Chains A and B, each alone.
Chain A
Amino acid sequence: MLQLKNLTVAYDDTPVFTDVAVNFDAGKITGIIGPNGAGKSTMIKAMLGLIKPLSGTATYNGQPLRDQQKRIAYVEQRKDLDLTFPINVFDVVLTGTYGQLGLFRSPGKAERTAAYEALAQVELTGFAPRQIGSLSGGQLQRVFVARAIVQQADIIILDEPFVGIDLQSETAIMTILKAWRDAGKTIIVVHHDLNKVSRYFDDLVVMNHGIIDFGPVAQTYSAANIEQAFSADLSAVLFDAKEGQA
């Protein structure tokens, strides 16, 4: 289990959230939802050690997460990437082996094989020699999921993986996430498309400058929680419509 306790993060003295406590279970796909600026990405970055929290701890199976950095794979938002970089699809996936290799060891045959297999899993084998700038948003997202496969991590964190991608890519990525879940890994997905919440996730964390609720989707994806995190209007639209259909 991945556990956050008393987590407080601030940018320039303005707290994003204070004393956050939340658990992520293994063998579950956990979605994190909340409005823009709710602190979803911030919480993840604090977990990853990319930003320094004011206080709080992150542990995995009782041990500090900080000491188990190599067990985490992170699929970040693609918008900050330099798509003109001289690197092809295969080599991007291969960078997934860098953490395990450590310093002064180059990827060998085993690593290259792993990279090819991961590319096959996301159905991009034919794209291996292509420069990354020539890919669509969905294809590119699948490349980074392939890199996460190669990392053989126990915890996989994805930040808005379905934004601006095609349906085929979304389906391919969901298939991988389910395979990871069935293998007992901890999967965390920052998400903002509320429509697919109950279809995609087992557990849910509802956020708005702090945790509003977390637990199984059936309990947490409720009119009350959505109203508290987003707005009464949105809650009414989502949940009335649902009951109308049913």
Chain B
Amino acid sequence: MSTLTEFFTALGRYDFLQSALITAIMVGIMSGVIGSFIILRGMSLMGDAISHAVLPGVAVAYMLGINVLIGASVFGILAALLIGFVAAHSKIKTDTSIGVVFSAFYALGFILISMAESATNLHHILFGNILAVSDSDIMTTAVVLGIVILFVVGFYKELLITSFDETYARTYGLHAQLLHYGLMLVLTLVTVSALQTVGIILVVAMLITPAATAFLWTDKLSTMLVMAAGVGVISAIVGLYFSYTFNWASGPAIVIVAAALFAISFAISPKQGFLPKRK
């Protein structure tokens, strides 16, 4: 337990650790909420694709000295549009289209990053560098969290019905396609925020694992959103503790905790657990 005391003492003492914790908690909430819609819409692969496709945007933003969110959003949406375009205008299936587009964007990102070498550290982009969170990073993350909450609360009905029964939504005149791209935009923003915490490679884990864990426990969408956010937050806090204590990289530490929570839920959850059910 002494390491735990140490962690909390350090938390009181070091600003960088407080900043890391606050950011990690905010990222845990937003990725759990948006991730829930991603898995319910059967778009896990799309989530993975968008999170990788923002890489050239990050590089371009560094080169031009503009906000990373803007650069990443442009490329995230571009990738989503291109994936939709290729799938709609050929006989190629969506998952194949995703594979082609996102790997191309990812490759382009690597080339651009190497061209902008001096300004960025590829390792931090790939694996996250949560202990170097600046005040402006916290502000940006808070703004994204605000956008996520406004989006989900404002369009809760529409997100629910297009995820569950898109055909019906379209028959009463809902613009399902527009909502899809709205969700892709918000997903891009979440990805960029999560970039610093867990890195590009593991963003998809933060989107999917807490949401999948929550899915095992509840039959109600609103409960699932709150639980997914909760699992995201717990993973972030416990992961950060491991990261600090054992000197693990923060991203893998957070993701491994989320995966452990999923494994426990998989075994004991009432909905589809392995253990015998008592009712």
Contact = CB atoms under 8 A, between A and B. Distances in A.
A99 B173 contact: yes
A49 interface: yes
B164 A50 contact: no
A83 to B, nearest CB: 10
Interface residues of A, number: 29
A87 B158 CA distance: 14
Contacts of A81: 164-165
B161 A85 contact: no
Contacts of B169: 98
Contact of A98 (B40, B154, B161, B215): B161
B171 A95 contact: no
Interface stretch (A13-21, A67-75, A231-239): A67-75
Given A95-B161, A103-B158, A86 B171 contact: no
A131 interface: yes
B172 interface: yes
B93 interface: no
Interface in B179-238: 215, 218-221, 223-224
Nearest to B165: A81
Interface string B118-160: 0000000000000000000000000000000000001111101
Contacts of A88: 219-220
Interface residues of B, number: 27
A48 B171 contact: yes
A101 B157 contact: yes
Given A81-B165, A82-B164, A103-B158, A70 B172 contact: yes
A104 B154 CA distance: 6
Contact of B221 (A82, A86, A101, A106): A86
Given A95-B164, A101-B157, A87 B219 contact: yes
Contact of A72 (B163, B171, B220): B171
A123 interface: no
A107 to B, nearest CB: 8
A127 to B, nearest CB: 13
Interface in A221-240: none
A76 interface: yes
Nearest to B163: A85
Interface centre among B40, B157, B160, B215 (most CB of A within 10 A): B157
Nearest to B154: A104
B168 interface: yes
A80 B219 contact: no
A76 B164 contact: no
Nearest to B223: A86
A98 B220 contact: no
B224 A86 contact: yes
A47 to B, nearest CB: 10
Contacts of B174: 98-99
Contacts of B155: 103
Given A87-B164, A106-B156, 18 more contacts: A49-B171, A50-B170, A82-B42, A85-B40, A86-B40, A86-B215, A86-B219, A87-B219, A88-B219, A95-B157, A95-B164, A98-B158, A98-B161, A98-B172, A98-B174, A99-B174, A104-B154, A151-B172
16 contacts: A69-B171, A69-B173, A70-B172, A76-B168, A81-B165, A82-B40, A82-B42, A86-B224, A88-B219, A98-B157, A98-B161, A98-B169, A99-B174, A101-B157, A103-B155, A147-B168
Interface of A: 48-50, 69-70, 72-74, 76, 80-82, 85-88, 91-92, 95, 98-99, 101, 103-104, 106-107, 131, 147, 151
| Complex A-B, nearest 3 residue pairs according to Cβ-Cβ distance, in ascending order | A99-B172, A69-B173, A131-B219
